């Protein structure tokens, strides 16, 4: 068996009422906090934020709420939030919400720690601490996920939108949450499209992280267990008949896939999805998921993907792709052109070459173009 690295530094309290039942764990971290969150879809309460406000009231923690996180947060969004602090210096930062809120909390912590200054230099300085396996900031970060997809509650990275490159990119950082409180109750009031995008994102993490050249026995075992959980709720997600137990499994599936892909990384589908998020405003998970089925079908050696699709509850990659297509088609309404397909292919070949190097089978420009075209066939405007 080959040598491998396995790393995760976040303490997780998982379960219903996880935050309030474990609130005493926050007592040692100080009395001033910043809460980073976003404005929820109308009619969907931010129950996690209300729970956290109750906990802070009991602990005597002074806090400031920044609730204007943008989807796929741009670098400039982080700087604007910092400026709203107006000198308020927190002892710790709390990210409450989906992946964008949790990533923004990490980025804001980095900017508080190292800024103010050139945000692009702070976040993306080439080679910055790439081999450091300790948290980079003196200020601890905590997270409460209210979606089940990104896994940001257990990963050390954060993805921001770069205006200078017209794409998303991971920060050069190593900033794990100190503690994450993962409560499946927060999923139950989410609209169906957010459940869809979250589940598909988590599924992509597991699939890509298991197929990555750096995958190892540990992360593949974690993903395999999560795939089996996905198989137990996938049909009810499609039919919108989820039970409390299935929400629990959905929450655990996301967290476990987050732990898994942190050990290797994502590969081709995530890179293909970035233009859909950036130019077409498609939710991140759906943008990745649109390509996931065709990606698996494209493998010349289907024995590489067959164990994965079977654990997910499908007979083969074609059946897997049909399921993913049903899930994404009900949430995505866009039009794309041949010119855009060519442009996005060129962008991938310029900006995402490391994903090609991580892929278990060799892919060239024609392969990437074909993945764009076959995956987006229903949306192409001739």
Asked whether the beta carbons of 91 and 32 are under 8 A apart, the reply is yes
What residue ranges define each of the domains in the chain, with the CATH number in brackets? Answer: 11-187 (3.40.50.1970), 192-379 (1.20.1090.10)
Q: How confident is the model at residue 202 (pLDDT cuts 50, 70, 90)?
A: very high
Alpha carbons within 13 angstroms on the beta-carbon side of residue 235 total 6
pLDDT at position 282: 96
Asked whether the beta carbons of 25 and 239 are under 8 A apart, the reply is no
Q: Cis check for the bond before 53: say yes or no (omega within 30 of 0).
A: no
Q: Return the biggest CA–CA distance within the chain.
A: 61
Mean pLDDT on 35-52? 91
pLDDT at position 163: 87
In this predicted structure, the answer to whether residue 211 has a pLDDT above a threshold of 70 is yes
Mean pLDDT on 31-57? 93
The region, left, alpha or beta by phi > 0 then psi within -120 to 50, assigned to residue 361 is beta
In this predicted structure, the answer to whether residue 44 has a pLDDT above a threshold of 60 is yes
Structure tokens at 112: 């508080």
Q: How confident is the model at residue 138 (pLDDT cuts 50, 70, 90)?
A: confident
Tens-digit pLDDT profile for residues 294-304: 999 999 999 99
Structure tokens at 32: 């001033």
Nearest to 211 by CA among 274, 263, 157: 263
Nearest to 150 by CA among 206, 108, 191: 206
pTM given for the model? 0.93
Mean pLDDT of the chain: 93
Q: How confident is the model at residue 131 (pLDDT cuts 50, 70, 90)?
A: low
In this predicted structure, the answer to whether residue 153 has a pLDDT above a threshold of 90 is yes
pLDDT at position 266: 93
Mean pLDDT on 212-230? 97
Mean pLDDT on 57-83? 95
CA 373 to each of CA 219, 284, 334: distance values in angstroms, whole numbers, following the listed order: 31, 19, 14
In this predicted structure, the answer to whether residue 130 has a pLDDT above a threshold of 90 is no
In this predicted structure, the answer to whether residue 83 has a pLDDT above a threshold of 90 is yes
Lowest mean per-residue pLDDT among 56-70, 121-135, 167-181, 289-303:
121-135
In this predicted structure, the answer to whether residue 128 has a pLDDT above a threshold of 60 is no
pLDDT at position 126: 61
pLDDT at position 133: 59
Asked whether the beta carbons of 229 and 249 are under 8 A apart, the reply is yes
Q: How confident is the model at residue 96 (pLDDT cuts 50, 70, 90)?
A: very high
Burial annotation 317-347 (CB, 10 A radius, 16+ → b, else e): beebbebbbebbeebbebebeeebbeebbeb
Phi, psi for residue 160 in degrees, rounded to 5: -125, 155
Alpha carbons within 13 angstroms on the beta-carbon side of residue 305 total 26
Burial annotation 267-282 (CB, 10 A radius, 16+ → b, else e): bbbbbbbbbbbbebeb
């Amino acid at each position: 068996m080959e040598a491998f690295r396995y790393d995760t530094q976040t303490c997780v309290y998982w379960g219903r009422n996880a935050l309030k039942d474990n609130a005493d764990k926050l007592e040692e971290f100080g009395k001033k906090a910043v809460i980073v969150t976003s404005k929820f879809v109308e009619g969907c309460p931010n129950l996690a934020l209300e729970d956290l406000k109750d906990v802070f009231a009991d602990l005597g923690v002074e806090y400031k709420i920044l609730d204007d996180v943008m989807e796929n947060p741009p670098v400039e969004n982080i700087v604007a939030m910092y400026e709203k602090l107006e000198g308020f210096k927190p002892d710790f930062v709390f990210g409450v919400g989906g992946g964008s809120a949790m990533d923004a909390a990490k980025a804001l912590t980095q900017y508080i720690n190292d800024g103010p200054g050139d945000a692009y230099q702070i976040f993306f300085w080439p080679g910055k601490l790439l081999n450091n396996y300790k948290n980079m900031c003196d200020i601890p970060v905590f997270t409460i996920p209210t979606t089940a997809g990104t896994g940001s509650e257990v990963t050390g990275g954060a993805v921001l939108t770069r205006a200078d490159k017209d794409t998303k990119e991971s920060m050069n950082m190593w900033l794990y949450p100190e503690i994450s409180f993962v409560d499946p109750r927060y999923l139950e009031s989410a609209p169906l499209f957010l459940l869809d995008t979250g589940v598909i994102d988590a599924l992509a993490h597991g699939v890509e992280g298991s197929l990555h050249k750096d995958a190892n026995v540990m992360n593949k075992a974690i993903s395999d267990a999560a795939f089996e959980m996905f198989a137990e709720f996938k049909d009810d997600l499609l039919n919108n008949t989820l039970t409390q137990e299935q929400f629990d499994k959905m929450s655990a599936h996301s967290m476990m896939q987050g732990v898994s892909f942190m050990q290797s990384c994502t590969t081709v589908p995530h890179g293909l999805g970035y233009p859909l998020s950036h130019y077409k405003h498609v939710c991140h998970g759906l943008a990745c998921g649109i390509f996931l089925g065709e990606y698996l079908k494209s493998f010349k050696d289907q024995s590489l993907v067959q164990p994965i699709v079977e654990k997910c509850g499908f007979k083969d990659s074609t059946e897997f792709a049909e399921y993913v297509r049903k899930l994404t088609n009900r949430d995505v309404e866009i039009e794309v052109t041949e010119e855009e397909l060519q442009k996005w292919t060129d962008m991938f070949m310029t900006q995402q070459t490391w994903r090609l190097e991580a892929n278990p089978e060799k892919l060239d420009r024609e392969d990437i173009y074909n993945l764009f075209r076959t995956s987006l066939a229903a949306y192409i405007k001739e």
